Amino acid sequence: MIFVIIKTIHIFAAFIYGGFLIVDNLFLVKIKKSFKEAEHIKIRESFMKYVRNVVPPALIVAVLTGLYLITQVYGPIGEDGLTRFQMLLSLKAFLGIWLGVRGFLQVYLKIQPLLFKSHVLPFSFVITIIFLSQFMYI
C-alpha cells in the first residue's frame, strides 16, 4: 500500500514539474513573439511568481519518491549483468537525479548553471524520462 501511495505522489509531482516545462517551452516562448519585450517580462514574471512556490518543491518530491521507488523495483543484478529494465531504469534515474540536483542548486542555493541556462535541456530530459518509463516494461 505504501508503494502505491508513494508512486501516486511521485507521478503527481512529476506532472507538476513536467507540466511547467511543457508550458514554458511550448507556450511562454510564443508569448514573447506576441508582446513587446516589457509586456513579455511582466507576463512571464507574473506567471513565474506562482511557479516558484510550487515547481521546485514538486521536483524535489519527484526525485526523492523516485529514489524510493527504485529501491523497490530495481531487483538483484544477475550473473549476466543488468537487465534491459535495470539499464533503462538506471538511465531514467540518472536523468531525474541530474534534474533534481540542478534544480536544488539553482533554486535553493542560488547557484546558476554554467551551461544550459534555459529550460530546453530539462524539458528534453523529462520527455526522455517519459519515453523510458514506457519502454522499460517492453
- pLDDT of the residue at 35: 87
pLDDT tens digit sequence for 19-41: 999 988 888 878 888 888 888 88
Mean pLDDT of 113-137: 87
In this predicted structure, what is the pLDDT of residue 134? 92
The predicted pLDDT at position 15 comes to 95
List phi, psi (to 5°) of 127.
Answer: -60, -45
The cell for 5 is: 501511495
Count Cβ atoms within 10 A of the Cβ of residue 51 and give its class: 0-12 exposed, 13-18 middle, 19 or more buried: middle
Asked if 129 and 89 touch (Cβ cutoff 8 Å), the reply is no
C-alpha distances (whole Å) from 130 to each of 77, 87, 107, 109 are 24, 15, 24, 28
Q: Give the mean pLDDT of 118-136.
A: 91
pLDDT for the residue numbered 31: 82
CA-to-CA distance for 12 and 17, rounded, in angstroms? 9
Give the integer Cα–Cα distance in Å for 97 and 86. Answer: 16
pLDDT recorded at residue 2: 95
